Structures are given as structure tokens and as C-alpha cells.
Amino acid sequence: MRNGGIIGARNTPTPSIASGVWGLSTQQRTVAGRDIIIDGDPHFSSVSLLMNFNSDFSNAGSYSGSFSAANSAAVSSAQTEFGAKSLDIDNGSQGIGAGPYLTTSPGSALSQSGEFTEELWLYPVVLSGPGDMVFGGYKLTSGALNFAMSTAGRLVVQKYGTGKILGGTSVTCVAGEWQHVAMTRDSSNVIRVFRNGVVDSTTTTDAANATASVAFNLGSGGVAGYGIRAFIDEYRRTEGVCRYTANFSAPTAAFPTTSRASDPTAWPFAPYNIASLVVAGAGGGAGGGGGAGGYLSAASTALQVGSVYTVTVGAGGALGNNTGAHAAKGSDSVLSGAVITTVTAEGGGYGAGAPGGNPSTSNGGNGGSGGGAASWDTGGGVGTGGSATSGQGNAGGGCADGGAGQYNAGGGGGSGSVGTAGSGDTGVNGGAEPGAGTSNSITASAVTYAAGGEGYFASGGGAGTANRGDGGDGQQVAATGGNGFAGGSGVVILRMATADYSGTTSGSPTVSTSGSDTILVYNNSGTYTA
């Protein structure tokens, strides 16, 4: 899936990846007009089973035990997805449960703890028998998780001693064709099943492990009534790694049988560049307007191929009120991972609250952009707007010492300008102008991000726009108080050449394309694997 140009400057010649996701298939890089084919799986050291069945039952993974044929299981050229042969466990004359399968000997147990990924190419000859076992079969082991296919072709997960814990609802296998199927468990013990890279609509959370030294079976549970008539190709089990947490592109070639180069920064594993925008959550408003979330835009950031980049999207700060409670500061948004300096956009500063009925003043909070100050009544004093983080925003507006019964509220700072100072007024809607935001076209459309919240000294205002990092407006309506408005949440946006895009994400970012580029918009926290 990676090939071609990218955003920003590249050294020449510059390698890029074509076809597939790392760890799924043979990779291709284009250098100086030549396509160079290489193998490499960044998680190969965690692969316990990797069987291609091209000639026998040999295993390229770390598992030291051996497999043996039961009931005439054999490699065959009758059906293949990759390579010369596949595992033939179709024997209609023997019937389901008495049919062929592969098994380890007792004492050669495979671990089933923590994160894992089990995947293979499956060619069902027929869809028959409840509980037809695809893989697993940690035979007669309490808590063992087994992967099966129902009569209707649904992919299900069964736990020995409990029964079915995940029943397929949307993913359906098809008889008479090859399909990639997988079962994964992530660090939160969430189990998922996939067909051709599409996750089933049902997930479950289960931390059960098979720990006894008993046989593991491929193609059957090893007991009557739990077999499958099918062909299997490219079976891989990865320990301690959940390769898939969301929809992905199914592999287009045989699994790599080698690890990635030991130096991931050297060619042919050099980084590729992306454009990025990181905007923090904005501060909430009270009387003073909330400061905008920190705004950081980069035209060219190098990501390391195969590395996982963590995206944290900051929440907007809660509102405050005019009985003395400041609003809350916004939360930071962060982009972090290998070979990059962690990008941290600081949450916007809070808008200040001024206690009604008491001469007082409050300063705005510091942050990405500073929050606006607030004051009430004669002698309330001069308030100071919050300060901004260098390179991320501007200061909030201060406020003057008011007259009798007057509210003064400064506007929150924005990424484009400082917040306006409050001058004092009563009985009118409106207030001190906020700092301006910044227009950015990383999504291919001009959008303004990180504007400050307005400082209100009467009624009106509103919450900061979600996923823009806009500050919440203030509101002061009477000596008895009025609530301000919450700050808007942040956003993280990545843009890269479509040819470089891996397709591996978590957190459900919005994925779109513009010309030759792919754009990922993270409104919630997640990850991207380069």
C-alpha cells in the first residue's frame, strides 16, 4: 500500500513501501526506479507458529514441538492460496469429527496468555456441523479459547467449560473460496474475529488462558463432532502481539519468514514523512473566556516504518461560574512514537470566575492560549489574562477595575491573536472579543482551529466547538451568578502519501483521501502504525 511521493521534502533516492502491511506479506520498495522485493515482519520474534504447508508440516516459528497428521491429514496441491500446496483436511467419507487434522503431542503445549493473533487462509469445502473447529483445540483444557465456524459460516469463539463466548453476527465465511480469517486478543482482553480484514460486529472481553501441557490441534478439537472439511494455508500464531484491532487490508502474499533488519533506521526501512496538526482541548469559560487549545502544525515529520505512533486527543475544560469557580483547563493533545520528538499541544487556559456580590478579581489561567480574566464591582481590581505556551497560542485578555455593579471579563487567547481586555458594562449582551483562530487546510478544506472564548459580562455565549480546540465563552448575568461554557475538545490530524499509508490504525479515525494523499482525523485517542 506504500509507494510513490509524500508530503514534504525527501532525500533522493528515497525508498517507500508498496503492497501490504508490515508483517502481512512480502514487501516491495522502489528505489531509483527499480522495485526491490524484501521480506520482513517486525513481530517475527513473537511468532510461535508459521506454517505454509508447501511441502510438509514444518514450522518457521519459535515453537519447538512438532505436528503430526491425524486421520490422514496431508499437504495437497488440490487447493492453494499461496505457494505450491496447502493443508488438506477434507475427507467427506470420514465425516465431521472423524476427519483429518494436525495435532501436537501432549507436553508440547502452546501458550495462550495475554495478547495474541491467530490467523490463516481458509477454504471451507462445505459449511456443516455445529462447532466446526478451525484452530485452537487446546483439548480438554479448562478456559481454553477455540476458534470455530458455525453451520451458517459464522466465525465464533468457544471457551472450554463455558461454551460459546463470541457468536459471529456479521462476518460470514463462504464455501468454495479462500478467505483470510483471524482471532485476536488485545491488552484489554478484548477478543475480535475477522474475515478478510473485516471485524465482526461483536467483541467480548475474556482473560482466560490455556495453561496445561495438552495437545493443540489445527482443523479439529480432537474429539468427535468438532472437525472441519476444508483446506488451510499460511497459518500463523503470534504471541504477545495483537496485530489487528480494527478493519485492515488482508495480506496479498505469503507471510514473511524473516525478521525486520536489526537497524530500523537504515535503508530499506527508512522513515517516511507526513504532515501533522495537533490541537489541544480548550479551556472552559466562566466570566472570562476560555483559552484556545495549543496549536501545533508541522509540514514534514518523519515516521519510522513499522513503529506504532500514539495519538492522544485532549478533552475540553469544564465550565466555571460567577460564584467564584474558575473554569477548567483543557487537556493536552499528544503525538508520540519512534524517531520523532514527542509533539505536545498544551491544553487551553481556564476562563476566570469572579464572585458575585463581592469586590474581587481573578486572573485567567495559563495554557496553550491563556484564559480571560474576570472582575466585578467597584474596587474589584485589574485582572490579568493567562499567559500562552510559546509557539502554540496567545495570552488571554485582562479586565479593568469596574464600576458599581459592573462585570468585566476578558476574552480567551486564540492561536491567531490575543484575547481582548474587558472594559466593563452592564445589561447588554456581548463582551470582550476572543483571540482569533488559525485557518489550516490539512484536510483539503480550510478550517479554523483554536479560537479563544468570548468574555461575557451579560448573557449569551456558547461552548467551544468540539474537535477544533475553541475556548468556551464566559457568561455573567447577575450578582447571584451564571455559568460559563465548556471548552471544545482537541484533534490530531495526519496526512501522508496514500502510497505510504499502512492502513493500520486504532481509535477509529476518520480516513479520507485528497489527490494522492490519505488523511487521518483523530477526534478520539488512538494509534497509527507506520
- Write out pLDDT tens, residues 4-28: 222 222 222 222 222 222 233 334 4
pLDDT for the residue 87: 92
Higher-confidence position of 521 and 135: 521
**Count of structural domains within the chain:** 1
Mean pLDDT of 118-129: 85
Q: Is the pLDDT of residue 89 over 80?
A: yes
In a domain, 438, yes or no: no
Q: Is the pLDDT of residue 430 over 90?
A: no
In a domain, 55, yes or no: yes
Per residue in 339-352, pLDDT (tens digit) is 788 999 999 999 98
Please give the single-letter amino acid code of residue 9: A
In a domain, 525, yes or no: no
Per residue, the 3-state secondary structure of 260-277, as one string, reads CCCCCCCCCCCCEEEEEE
In a domain, 99, yes or no: yes
- Residue 459 φ/ψ, nearest 5 degrees: -105, 160
Indicate the pTM of the whole model: 0.53
3-state secondary structure of 68: strand
In a domain, 471, yes or no: no
Q: Give DSSP secondary structure letters for 436-484.
A: P-EEE-TTSS-EEE-PPPPEESSS---PPPTTTTPPPPP---STT--B-
C-alpha grid cell for residue 11?
532525500
When pLDDT is cut at 50, 70 and 90, the band that residue 122 belongs to is very high
Q: Tell which residue, 48, 64, 59, 61, has the closest CA to residue 241.
A: 48
Per residue in 361-387, pLDDT (tens digit) is 789 999 999 999 888 766 666 889 999
Q: Is the pLDDT of residue 358 over 70?
A: no
Nearest 10 degrees: Cα torsion 238, 240, 245, 251: -20
Per residue in 147-195, pLDDT (tens digit) is 877 777 888 887 776 777 887 777 888 999 999 999 899 989 999 999 9
pLDDT for the residue 30: 40
In a domain, 114, yes or no: yes
Q: Measured between alpha carbons, how far apart are the two ends of the chain, in Å?
A: 11
Q: Are 176 and 192 in contact (CB under 8 A)?
A: no
pLDDT for the residue 18: 26
C-alpha grid cell for residue 178?
479462500
- As beta bridge partners, residue 245 has none
Q: Are 171 and 200 in contact (CB under 8 A)?
A: yes
Q: Is the pLDDT of residue 138 over 80?
A: no
C-alpha grid cell for residue 334?
499528544
Distance CA 440, CA 421 (A): 27
pLDDT for the residue 162: 73
- What is the CATH number for 92? 2.60.120.200
Q: Are 67 and 103 in contact (CB under 8 A)?
A: yes
Please give the single-letter amino acid code of residue 61: G
In a domain, 222, yes or no: yes
Q: Is the pLDDT of residue 123 over 90?
A: yes
pLDDT for the residue 112: 73
Q: Provide the residue range defining the domain that includes 77.
A: 44-239
Across 261-275, 423-437, 453-467, the highest mean pLDDT is recorded for 453-467
pLDDT for the residue 303: 87
